[in-house]
Chain A
Amino acid sequence: MKSVIIQNETGLHARPCSLIASLAGTSPMDAYLIKDGKPYNAKSIMGLMSMGVTKGTELLIDCEDETLSEALYKLLSELND
């Protein structure tokens, strides 16, 4: 599983969560972000927000869809708002 450390100053607030959920929704396969060993459904905005991710948090991308996995990695690495 790919690991990414969130660099966004404001962590994962409403805007990034909606971008992640939108992206994850493009694949029919399940996708999860794992924080502190706990999986969160990447297709659920509320689920993503409940992670309480701030700058510096490490997340693991758990997704069998390689294309989506790459896209999520890119999105999470490049968050800057």
Chain B
Amino acid sequence: MFKFFSKKDENKIAGYIDVMTPMDGVVIDLTDVPDPVFSGKMVGDGFAIEPTNGVVLAPVSGEVVQIFPTNHAFGIRTEEGLEILVHVGIDTVQLKGEGFTPFIQTGDRVTQGQKVLEVDLSVLKNAGKSIVTPVVITNLTEVAHFECSQIGVLQTAPISALSVTMKQK
């Protein structure tokens, strides 16, 4: 269900982006992520995935702003200016790259749905790390409206999970 803008809405629509799920698995509410930094929406807002396999796809097209040196998280900025962070697993920075195989580098341009990372989920599980993967908008101040549509759904990626409209600059 989409909310409709009233004519009085001062935030005119500048860009519309469909953010896709990056991994197969169940889409869960960000508030259910077992880390207060994500569940408390400190990093941003969006959704999370409880993945069933370790293939990670680009949720949006754009420029890879950063793939962390330890390959466990990456950020993409779309041409509309939306910034999306995908953080595979919780506290996975501590694995120092073990279990993560990147297919992208910082500065690359990626297409939505493109394979960007592969993670060996058993490495995370054996290390006692949660495999829950938040997918968040980190620049909410530039977003006029967003809506998550697939909470609770077990899906095969990529499917549209977050619809975002940017503020007009």
List residues of chain A with CB under 8 Å of any chain B CB: 10-11, 13-15, 17-19, 22, 44-46, 49-50, 52, 54
Instruction: Tell me how far the C-beta of A50 lies from the nearest C-beta in chain B, rounded to whole angstroms.
Output: 4
Q: How many contacts A-B (CB < 8 Å)?
A: 52
Q: How far is the CA of A80 from the CA of B106 in the complex (A)?
A: 26
Interface of B: prevailing SS: mixed
Residues of chain B within 8 A (CB-CB) of A46 are: 65-66, 75, 77, 83, 85, 138-139
Interface of A: prevailing SS: helix
Contact B65 A49 (CB under 8 A): yes
Q: How far is the CA of A11 from the CA of B70 in the complex (A)?
A: 10
Taking the complex as formed, is B153 at the interface, i.e. its CB lies under 8 A from any CB of chain A?
A: no
Residues of chain B within 8 A (CB-CB) of A18 are: 37, 42-43
Contact B37 A14 (CB under 8 A): yes
Give the bracket for the number of chain B residues in contact with chain A.
20 to 34
Residues of chain A within 8 A (CB-CB) of B43 are: 14, 17-18, 45
Contact of A54 with B69 at beta-carbon distance under 8 Å, contacts A13-B93, A14-B43 already known = yes
A11 and chain B: residue at smallest CB distance:
B69
Residues of chain A within 8 A (CB-CB) of B42 are: 18-19, 22
Residues of chain B within 8 A (CB-CB) of A19 are: 42
Contact of A49 with B106 at beta-carbon distance under 8 Å, contacts A14-B37, A14-B43, A54-B69 already known = no
Contact B75 A49 (CB under 8 A): yes
